[in-house]
Amino acid sequence: MSLKTIFENPKLTLVQIINMSVGFFGIQFGWDLQRANMGRIYENLGANPDQVPLLFLAAPLTGLLVQPIIGYLSDHTWHPKWGRRRPYFMIGAIVSSIALIFMPHSSVLWMAAGLLWVLDVFGNIAMEPFRAFVTDKLPDSQVNRGFIMQSMMIGLGGSVASALPWLMNNVFHLQNTAAKGSIPENVRFSFYIGAFFFFAAVLWTVFTTKEYPPQEEDSSKKNTNGFSDGVNEIFSALRNMPKRMQIVSLVQFFTWPGLFLMWFYYTTAVAVNVFGGKDAADPIYAQGADFGSLTLAYYSVITFLFALVLPKIADALGRKTTHAICLICGAIGLISVAWVHDKNMLYLCMTGVGIAWASILSMPYAMLSGSLPKDKIGIYMGIFNFFIVLPEIIASLGFGWLMRNVLNNDRLLAVQLGGGLMILAAIICYLFIREPKKSDDVLTAKLGVEENRSV
């Protein structure tokens, strides 16, 4: 019997892959609600543009610790009924949904920032094991499709969530303006709906998907020896990162600032620079912010649609070339926002961002899947998150000064700078990542080898 026969997971049907991915629809619903609206909420509560990055700081600082710890714990968890990853899905969904309900009742900045911290922490607790879940459940031949199905769910959830404030105002006629110190009615009801979908979607995955019990030699079946043992294992994994993971992590490090700067400033940039609004109390500003959220919903639709063809493109061109091209599309989309005079041209800009987002949500994880030890997938996915969180921490700490002293609080320049960093990420991806042989990838992952032969 071959090693592949011994260790390879059985193939799943399309329905089974959908069921295990539905939870990501809800998780992304929560993420996109806060990404599209937190800058607006902060400004409604009196924040200046240069203060916005700092108000996002607590969440990534906590995520830096939470992700590897949750990865370690989920690697070492097994319950006959609830499995390995699903308990974390459930806990994260319950607390995140509560935070979404309370968020639009924030009356001061510290309250909104605190609830964002809670939302991000428990959103990460729900999300981080989902990445490991794909590798747990799927054979190598279906890994691309597993991560891309997550991308489709993320695109679908994000499109609905980002469009909600516009829909609440234009379809259900809820107020989109509010006095300083309060949250508009259309945003408030959007968060209520988000709480429902976050919880319901995660519940769907929890109750429709089963997990494989650990093998006898799987470390998840062994008892942990306390906190210090977990810390030592996390630092050991960090020191011994596979070479390919090091390069993919560097790509992530330069990719995500572009996304963070877009989420920090895009919606308010549309309100001020494209629509000509003055401040959060101005009806023109409110119309612009709602329209900005609508175009963010559009890029999520593009993500969903592009994910349908992304597996074939990746199979034909390879994962690294596909990812580099998609990042360039996203960079062009972000940079071109500053040249828009007709608001409808923003849809064209967001087409590029949607293409990039589909790849960002799948290709880096697919490139990693064959290079990680099977019994430490959770830990390594948590460590991989460092290179998403660290750019956000750097942006939160340093970008306020840059906005005040260099960019003159120009939100559009901030969005363009993010596009430039995405170009750098594409160059690193194309030049320094080598596509491994598939057979080497499978053996490396299944045998738990710490170091992959290919970068």
DSSP letter at 173 equals: -
Q: What is the pLDDT of residue 333?
A: 96
Q: Which of 59, 83, 198, 195 is nearest to 132 (CA)?
A: 83
Tell me the H-state helices in 45-108.
52-55, 58-75, 86-102
Backbone angles phi, psi at 79, to 5 degrees: -125, 130
Q: What is the dihedral of CA 319, 321, 324, 329, to 10 degrees?
A: -100
Q: Which of 96, 426, 382, 391 is nearest to 264 (CA)?
A: 391
- Judging by beta carbons within 10 Å of its beta carbon (0-12, 13-18, 19+), is residue 80 exposed, middle or buried? exposed
Measured distance CA(237)–CA(240) in Å, rounded: 5
Q: Extract the residue ranges of the chain whose pLDDT is less than 70.
A: 1-8, 58-59, 214-228, 436-455
Q: Do 88 and 126 contact (CB within 8 A), yes or no?
A: yes
Q: What is the pLDDT of residue 246?
A: 92
Neighbours of 285 (CB within 10 A): 23
Q: Tens digits of per-residue pLDDT, 129-160?
A: 887 888 788 887 787 788 888 888 888 888 88
Measured distance CA(114)–CA(21) in Å, rounded: 29
Q: What is the pLDDT of residue 74?
A: 85
Measured distance CA(431)–CA(254) in Å, rounded: 14
Q: Which CATH architecture has domain 12-208+238-447?
A: Up-down Bundle (1.20)
Q: What is the pLDDT of residue 410?
A: 87
Give residue limits of the domains in the chain: 12-208+238-447
Measured distance CA(231)–CA(238) in Å, rounded: 11
DSSP letter at 370 equals: T
